[in-house]
Amino acid sequence: MANQNLDNLVKIGQLESDPFEEIEAMRILNLAHNRLLDSEITGLSIGGRFMCTYNAAYGAALAALRWHGFRCENELMAFHCLGDTLAWPENKWRVFDSAHQKRNLVEYEGYLAIEESTIEELRDLTATLIKDVEKLVKLHEKLFPHLSGAGEKMSKQKDTYSPVPHTRGDDEKLFANPEFKKAWDELEDQYATLSK
């Protein structure tokens, strides 16, 4: 959807505008889901499980940005944008902000101060994030069946796929649809209740 905050982040170079492609978002989500499953492998070190969970969260946050037609290289920015991409309240996305700080300590200073309860909390929230992004993509498929799976369709003349980008015009059509608008408003109401 058109979002002034995200547009402003493009203007200052924190985000890039890039049309949505369903197949790309689904690949990113699939990878995020697999990383979340990896985080449950008991044979991994606590640091390894934390990094798998963190990377799953980043993938899901990036997929949400991609749905809106943006991308970024900065992991922290992807988490900060969850308020705009999924209408998540600050108290939810700030958990990922904290995880990012812990991740930097692990990656750049070799300092590992992570408890099992931290991983569990992060894993639960990441699972919720993945489900919320999946809802967004699936709602797009329902409202735009002519675009659904377009990235996977093979050209009859060439053995390559032809992705169909999601445009700002598509966003406007989505929000003009009463069913989509109602579902979006319900999600926003749920998150508003959680943030109180």
Domains contained in the chain, number: 1
Checking if the pLDDT of 73 tops 70, the result is yes
**CATH number, domain containing residue 69:** 1.20.120.330
Region for 70 from its dihedrals, namely left if φ exceeds 0, alpha if ψ lies in -120 to 50, beta otherwise: beta
User: What is the per-residue pLDDT across 36-63, written as a single tens digit (0 to 9) for each?
Assistant: 999 999 888 998 999 999 999 999 999 9
Strand-pair partners of 16? 71
Total residue count of the chain as it appears in this document: 196
Would you say the C-alpha torsion 49, 80, 144, 176 has a positive or negative sign? Answer: positive
Q: What pLDDT is stored for residue 163 in this prediction? A: 38
User: What is the per-residue pLDDT across 11-37, written as a single tens digit (0 to 9) for each?
Assistant: 999 999 988 877 888 889 889 999 999
Q: What pLDDT is stored for residue 121 in this prediction? A: 94
User: What is the per-residue pLDDT across 92-134, written as a single tens digit (0 to 9) for each?
Assistant: 999 998 899 888 888 888 888 888 898 999 999 999 999 999 8
> Domain of 82?
4-194
Higher pLDDT, 158 or 72: 72
Q: What pLDDT is stored for residue 196 in this prediction? A: 46
Share of the chain above pLDDT 70, in %: 73
Higher pLDDT, 147 or 184: 184
Locate all alpha helices (DSSP H) within the chain, ordered by sequence.
Answer: 4-11, 22-38, 46-67, 75-80, 82-85, 90-109, 116-143, 168-176, 178-194
User: What is the per-residue pLDDT across 154-169, written as a single tens digit (0 to 9) for each?
Assistant: 333 333 333 344 455 6
